[in-house]
Structure 1
Amino acid sequence: MLGLLLLQVLASCLWLGHSEVVNSFDSCPQFFYDGIPPNDALNPNNPARICQRFNNSYHYATLYDRDRRIPVYSAYKYEPGDAKRPHTWWFVEPQLIGKNNLREMERESVLIGQHHFTLDEIKKSQAVLDDYKTLKDLDRGHLNPNSQQCSRESKTATFTLTNIVPQDSSLNNGQWNKYECKTMPKKTQGCTTTYVITGAVPGNTFVSDNRVNRPSHIWSAACCMLDKKPPKAWGAIAENDKNQVEELSLGELEERLTKLYGGTVTLFNNACPRE
């Protein structure tokens, strides 16, 4: 009986060793300031913590909501570069399908054609390409945008549906794009390292036959390390049906999210200033 128990424990450990969808972000703490992710106030009922892996490297971290089929947030380092925008392939996360040894994001067609998964198996706990094909006035909105990554590999890794939410088209192409591409470069001047967490507040409506949640708000927070100076931090939030972005202090953003999520939200270690 003891021998059987030991075998079961060993089998469990071996399985865990193959997966990058884990109970914590221990495999990729480098994307969080001081290695500490946001507190549990953001956690959905059925979460998946994904160390986003492409071409044998980690590129960012995502907390994913399996039930609503959208990311809660993606955490990454702000490292824009001159690499060209990658191909337009979109990936899904095979580790959300069930027990398998596939550790990296992959295209639906490859999972179906080469690894013999069915589309229904892929769709069970994540969004798929069909969910975004017929949306009206909504875009595939990146939480971690490719424009804030330096290498072609890191840019490519942002094109996974576990990093995407249905985002208002005017906002995605308007004021949110302005915040990503113009405001962030200004605010990060002089920063040695900038940690970013960008998220989506779940809304009350769904798209694609009630499969994918349409967030009520998009938000982002940054904590910037300065050479020989204390860190500085800031935040931004937008309603997902208006082309307006409100810039806030980190403390103001956390207060706003506390009301929206219904629990006290802490995004960064206390070393990041709230004012």
Structure 2
Amino acid sequence: MLRFVITLLLWVSVSTGHAAENFAACPQFFANGKPPVLKLHPTDRALCYDSFAILHSSQSKTPVYVAEKLNRAVMAEPPQQRSDHFFEEARLREAERATLDDYKGSGYDRGHMAPAGDMRTAEAMAQSFSLANMVPQAPEHNRGAWAKSVETPTRKYASRATGDVFVITGPVFVPNIAQSPSIGAGRVHVPKYLFKLVYDQSKNRAWAYWHLNDDATRGSKPISYGELVRRTGIEFLPGMSPGE
């Protein structure tokens, strides 16, 4: 009961600065229990789920990032049947969250950041369809290059890894959130790029996929961890210096 109360409080309150205290209920999704270091907006929210954690932005009405922990044991569990039941995240204030109507007729997919294909329990599968886990994604990119050359290879790598693989996925808005295009009456902002960081803790090795959010995007060579930090300004693995 106490853990539930603590988790509930963390869902609705987050401070500016380092996010560690805000993810106290779900540190397992971060390498060494340390969330990324970045400057937080006062209304950014830390959300803990069964199989992933989200730092959510009320400005973009999308994740800032979504964190997962994958490994051979997790990937050995049978995949769940997709629920395809998208829902508005009731733990966020109405003014801070995306709605189903925002995406309706927009021409964009509701693109998972923590993929449904990673979920290995019915609860986790259902939770992955929260709009807090979505960004407006070009449909051919979502179902094509992103699914085939980013999400599937990441799962395959985790299924062969000897230890834990930490994955952080998120959007990048250019030149910034306010000047990015948006969809719907609620103004859900459309990212210019998407990234997925993969960190193999046992090998201290990391790389990142970086894709233009466009139907014409094809698979490309991953970038280094250092390059991802340079492009985003976020220290995703604080205190660590992973190799490529």
CA distance 1:125–1:181, shift in 2 (3 Å) = closer
Cα distance in 2 for residues equivalent to 1:177 and 1:159:
16
CA distance 1:84–1:210, shift in 2 (3 Å) = closer
Question: Which residue of structure 1 aligns with residue 165 of structure 2?
Answer: 194
Question: Which residue of structure 1 aligns with residue 17 of structure 2?
Answer: none
Cα distance in 1 for residues equivalent to 2:122 and 2:241:
30
Which residue, out of 215, 223, 236, partners 1:248?
223
Q: Tell me if structure 2 keeps the 8 A contact 1:199–1:219.
A: yes
Equivalent residue runs for 1:1-275 within 5 Å: 18-21=8-11, 22-23=13-14, 24-41=22-39, 43-44=40-41, 46-52=43-49, 58-78=50-70, 79-80=74-75, 81-97=77-93, 122=94, 124-136=95-107, 138-188=108-158, 189-203=160-174, 204-209=180-185, 211-226=187-202, 230-241=203-214, 242-246=216-220, 247-258=222-233, 265-275=234-244
Cα distance in 2 for residues equivalent to 1:272 and 1:210:
39
Higher mean C-alpha deviation, range 145-154 or range 67-76: 145-154
Cα distance in 2 for residues equivalent to 1:128 and 1:86:
20
What number of residue pairs does the alignment pair up? 220
- Matched letter for residue 270 of structure 1: G
Q: Tell me if structure 1 keeps the 8 A contact 2:80–2:119.
A: no
TM-score of the aligned structures, taking structure 1 as reference length? 0.73
Cα distance in 1 for residues equivalent to 2:28 and 2:64:
19
Cα distance in 2 for residues equivalent to 1:266 and 1:254:
6
Give deviations 1:31-71, integer Å, cap 9, x for gaps. Answer: 11111111114x3453111112xxxxx32110111122111
Give deviations 1:192-220, integer Å, cap 9, x for gaps. Answer: 21111101112411111361100111001
Give deviations 1:70-121, integer Å, cap 9, x for gaps. Answer: 1111111124342332322223222223xxxxxxxxxxxxxxxxxxxxxxxx
| Structure 1 residue 190: Cα displacement | 2.5
| Structure 1 residue 143: Cα displacement | 0.4
Give the match's secondary structure for 1:192: coil
Give identity over the alignment, percent: 28
Higher mean C-alpha deviation, range 138-147 or range 195-204: 195-204
| Structure 1 residue 269: Cα displacement | 3.4
| Structure 1 residue 148: Cα displacement | 1.5
CA distance 1:158–1:18, shift in 2 (3 Å) = closer
Cα distance in 1 for residues equivalent to 2:142 and 2:7:
38
| Structure 1 residue 254: Cα displacement | 1.6
- Matched letter for residue 81 of structure 2: R
| Structure 1 residue 181: Cα displacement | 4.2
Runs of 4+ in 1 over 6 A off after TM superposition: none
Q: Tell me if structure 2 keeps the 8 A contact 1:197–1:220.
A: yes
Cα distance in 2 for residues equivalent to 1:249 and 1:187:
17
CA distance 1:211–1:272, shift in 2 (3 Å) = same
Cα distance in 2 for residues equivalent to 1:146 and 1:272:
30
Higher mean C-alpha deviation, range 82-91 or range 152-161: 82-91
- Matched letter for residue 234 of structure 1: W
CA distance 1:182–1:130, shift in 2 (3 Å) = same
TM-score of the aligned structures, taking structure 2 as reference length? 0.81
CA distance 1:272–1:82, shift in 2 (3 Å) = farther
